[in-house]
Amino acid sequence: MADGTSISANLAAPARAAMAPPSGMRKFMRRRSTIAVLMAMPLILLIAGLVIWPAIYAIWLSMLNKRMTQFVGLGNYAFLLKRNTFQLVIFQSCLFAVTAVILKALLGFIVAHLMHNIPGKNQRIWRGLLLVPWVIPLALSTLSWWWLFDPSYSAFNWILNSLGFQSVPWLGVGWNARFAVIAVNVWFGTPFFMIMYLAALKSVPEQLYEAAAIDGAGPVQKLLHVTLPMMRNIIAITVLFSLIVTFADFDIVRILTAGGPQDMTHLFATYAFSVGIQSGDIPLGASVSLFMLPILAVAAFFVLRGVTRRTQEIAA
Amino acid sequence: MAQVSIRKVVKAYEGNVQAVKGIDLEIADEEFVVLVGPSGCGKSTTLRMVAGLEEITSGEIWIGGDVVNDVPPRDRDIAMVFQNYALYPHMSVFDNMAFGLKLRKFPKDEIKRRVDEAARILDIQALLERKPKALSGGQRQRVAMGRAIVRNPKVFLFDEPLSNLDAKLRVQMRTEIKKVHQTIPTTTVYVTHDQVEAMTLADRVVVMNHGVIEQVGPPQELYHNPATRFVAGFIGSPAMNFLPVRVLDDGGLKVELANGVKLAVPPQRVDRYGPYKGRQMTLGLRPEHLTEIRDTEKPNVVRIDCMVDVVEPMGMETLVHFFIDGEPVCARIDPVTHSAPNEVLPLAADLNNMHLIDNESGKVV
Ligand SMILES: Nc1ncnc2c1ncn2[C@@H]1O[C@H](COP(=O)(O)OP(=O)(O)O)[C@@H](O)[C@H]1O
Ligand SMILES: [Mg+2]
């Protein structure tokens, strides 16, 4: 650390000296960093226009009253936190995201292993088939699921009935509906994990397993001491990425349950839509969606810090 | 602590490619055996079958009195050093070396004692906390050896352990490996394609080609009495010269070179070569038996004049390349002898060390 600061101090001095002479503008234009910034400018402007500006605007919006005539500070946030429905939304979003991501990662990991052990050409076919859920437009496939879950005319209840069981109101009862929403998300998201973990598995050198076998490791120990450590980065990154996407999920809940029954499947995004667009309180909707930010930022910070550390250790 | 026996072992990969075509090899306890041969001859496959990493198609492998055909690697009590070291990148040097012991539930202080001891032998005590990424090639090589040593296994297996090192380090680590074997005598099977490595390390060298063993023997024996043309050409650098000759009786048994020069066969070889009279054979003569003419000549040294093509001064010797009727020939002469391209140089061929090879069977007769 001490080295780092002293080096930057040494570098800063000549740079300042170079800026000092009066023919400043010319020299300034010739400096490499200036040119670099200029050449990156179109992208910077694009990002500023499409990401930073809307984000700032959203923050501004969230601090207005319903008719957007008055600045209310953090009033909307305080109001939300006191509402039972919103507390339910926080709980449901966390439940939904955490459960779905864990299940997706777990299933993806298992399927990737199965896939990895299918020899040669067959593997390509299976891999292609398992990717299907991921490539169908989500809104479309969710509609099929909605039909499958239908109480009177659906395939699931038809099977249950013909086996002699009662029909299940899949989307009509709180916990059933929560389960259904998570199940569809898992169905949709698992292929992503599968393909990422399969690629990671293929990149673990075979000789490490051979060395471990000779060192005395069985299948479980190889998994614990070779596979998992070698895949920790990809696991961390996929989980974080999926956590963000799943937290912000909209389509599945919107189509399957529209947040019902009794708001018991609402997530941040669907609730923000329902409050902001359907009920016309845009500032409140903005504050709902902004609630995701701190939660995700904290998660991202810790995960990415671990990834950086491990990358420095392992990359050879 | 263990002999290794390889009996009629065959390895066929899918598509009926036979990588190893039925080899027999008895390795004594504490012996250092080197499998050497050109790339693709089945050395690694053989070693990996001993390790248990490759299934044996037919035949038997014994380690220390037990058939191990169906024993998994972890129960064979062997240790292996891989060409690219195969160190666990996420573990420190200490953990890399301790991993096998931890899995075998050794007590902590015993693990530490063994790792420290191995680190001392290999001179890597200062590196124990580092990750493999922070090591040089030679240091990684040492760690890989340390991982094998701490286990104190019945057999060490090496698969081209020095191939990834630069030339200088390779020579240094070669000595290191030999020293380790002297310090901790353990049955060792070592695979390499480098005949110099094989000669310098081995108690016995096994020369393989196309999935079969060509010859087994101590380095000196292989060098002086090769059994086949392949071994004769593979062992030794620069390689043995091969010249087509005809065996004939012209007032004594002689071999006639393609350019018409006739060389008298030494009297002690006449009985051996007699039966091949009239046959087309190959004469094998190592470059060091083709030298400048010396004052004190032994019997059976004959003079051959050559037209020098290329001269390569090596310092302690000079290599002279020329052609005999289109066949390239190399001679090793004293550097003080004058030699220059396109000049005639008289050479002495020491026929006491000649080899005669049957063209059909490829065997040295
Ligand atoms: N997994 C495999 N599948 C098919 N053929 C193989 C396999 N591994 C090795 N071979 C073949 O077996 C032969 C011997 O290989 P190997 O033992 O690795 O040779 P080397 O003597 O260079 O170590 C080669 O011709 C190689 O192509
Ligand atoms: Mg090999």
Residue ranges per domain, chain B? 4-233, 241-358
CA gap A291, A287 in Å, rounded: 6
Alpha helix segments (H runs only) across B24-107: 43-51, 93-103
* B87-122 residue pLDDT tens: 999 999 999 999 999 999 999 999 999 999 999 989
Q: CA nearest B146: which of B227, B92, B69?
A: B92
B280-285 and B155-159 strand pairing: unpaired
CA atoms lying within 13 Å on the CB side of residue A84: 3
Question: ipTM for the complex?
Answer: 0.86
CA–CA distance from B241 to each of A47, B28, B205, B208 (Å)? Answer: 73, 34, 22, 21
Question: DSSP label at A279?
Answer: S
Contact A216 B79 (CB under 8 A): no
Q: Tell me, what's the pLDDT at B254?
A: 92
Choice from B36, B44, B189 to test ligand 1 binding pocket (greatest atom count within 8 A of CB): B44
CA–CA distance from B11 to each of B76, B82, B178 (Å)? Answer: 19, 20, 30
**Contacts with A226 from chain B: Cβ below 8 Å:** 88
CA gap B195, A201 in Å, rounded: 37
Alpha carbon of B155: minimum distance to chain A alpha carbons (Å): 12
Nearest CA to ligand 1 atom 4: B13
**Contacts with B80 from chain A: Cβ below 8 Å:** 210-211, 214
**Contacts with B86 from chain A: Cβ below 8 Å:** 205, 207-208, 210-211
**β-sheet with B17-27: strand ranges across:** B17-27, B4-13, B58-63, B66-67
CA gap B97, B115 in Å, rounded: 7
Question: DSSP label at B106?
Answer: -
Nearest CA to ligand 1 atom 1: B13
Contact B100 A216 (CB under 8 A): yes
CA atoms lying within 13 Å on the CB side of residue B251: 2
Q: Tell me, what's the pLDDT at B208?
A: 95
Preceding omega of A22 cis (within 30 degrees of 0): no
Percentage of chain B with pLDDT > 90?
80
Task: Please classify residue B163 by burial: count the beta carbons closer than 10 Å to its beta carbon, then call 0-12 exposed, 13-18 middle and 19+ buried.
Answer: middle
Class of domain B241-358: mainly beta
SS3 B52: coil
B266 CB near ligand 1 (under 6 Å): no
Contacts of B158 (CB under 8 A, 6+ apart): B80, B81, B177, B188, B189, B190, B191, B192
**Contacts with B74 from chain A: Cβ below 8 Å:** 213-218
* B131-165 residue pLDDT tens: 999 999 899 999 999 999 999 999 999 999 999 88
Contact B103 A210 (CB under 8 A): no
Nearest CA to ligand 1 atom 25: B40
Could you report how far apart the first and last alpha carbons of chain B are, in Å? 38
Q: Tell me, what's the pLDDT at B119?
A: 93
Q: Does domain A75-315 have CATH number 1.10.3720.10?
A: yes
CA gap B208, B40 in Å, rounded: 10
B204-209 and B32-36 strand pairing: parallel
Domain parsing of chain A, residue ranges: 17-61, 75-315
What distance in angstroms lies between residue B234's CA and the mean position of ligand 2's atoms? 17
| CB B129 within 8 Å of CB B143 | no
Choice from B45, B57, B193, B212 to test ligand 1 binding pocket (greatest atom count within 8 A of CB): B45
Quick one: pLDDT band at residue B251, thresholds 50, 70, 90?
confident
Q: What residue of A is the nearest CA neighbor of B99?
A: A215
B15 CB near ligand 1 (under 6 Å): no
Quick one: pLDDT band at residue B7, thresholds 50, 70, 90?
very high
Contact B88 A221 (CB under 8 A): no
Q: CA nearest A99: which of A180, A201, A197?
A: A180
Alpha carbon of B92: minimum distance to chain A alpha carbons (Å): 10
Closest ligand 1 atom to the C-alpha of B211? 14
CA gap A278, A89 in Å, rounded: 17
Whose structure tokens read 């009996």? B7
Nearest CA to ligand 1 atom 5: B13
SS3 A198: helix
Q: CA nearest A86: which of A293, A296, A259, A248?
A: A259
Closest ligand 1 atom to the C-alpha of B37? 21
Q: Does domain B4-233 have CATH number 3.40.50.300?
A: yes
**Contacts with B133 from chain A: Cβ below 8 Å:** 313-316
Output the average pLDDT for chain B.
92
| CB B101 within 8 Å of CB B121 | no
* B173-210 residue pLDDT tens: 999 899 999 999 999 999 999 999 999 999 999 999 99
Residue B17 phi/psi, 5° resolution? -80, 120
* B200-242 residue pLDDT tens: 999 999 999 999 999 999 999 999 999 999 999 999 989 999 9
Percentage of chain B with pLDDT > 70?
100
Q: Tell me, what's the pLDDT at A314?
A: 62
**β-sheet with B280-285: strand ranges across:** B262-264, B253-257, B241-249, B280-285, B355-358
Q: Tell me, what's the pLDDT at B1?
A: 63
Q: What residue of B is the nearest CA neighbor of A205?
A: B86
Same fold, B4-233 and B241-358: no
Contact A207 B104 (CB under 8 A): no
| CB B27 within 8 Å of CB B189 | yes
Per-residue confidence of chain A (316 residues) as pLDDT tens digits? Answer: 344 334 444 444 444 444 445 567 777 767 778 888 889 999 999 988 898 888 888 888 888 888 778 888 888 888 888 888 889 898 999 999 999 999 999 999 999 999 888 877 788 888 888 888 888 888 888 888 888 888 777 788 888 888 888 878 888 787 888 998 999 999 999 999 999 999 999 999 999 999 999 999 999 999 999 999 999 888 988 998 898 889 888 888 998 888 778 888 888 889 989 888 888 888 888 888 888 888 888 888 887 887 887 777 665 4
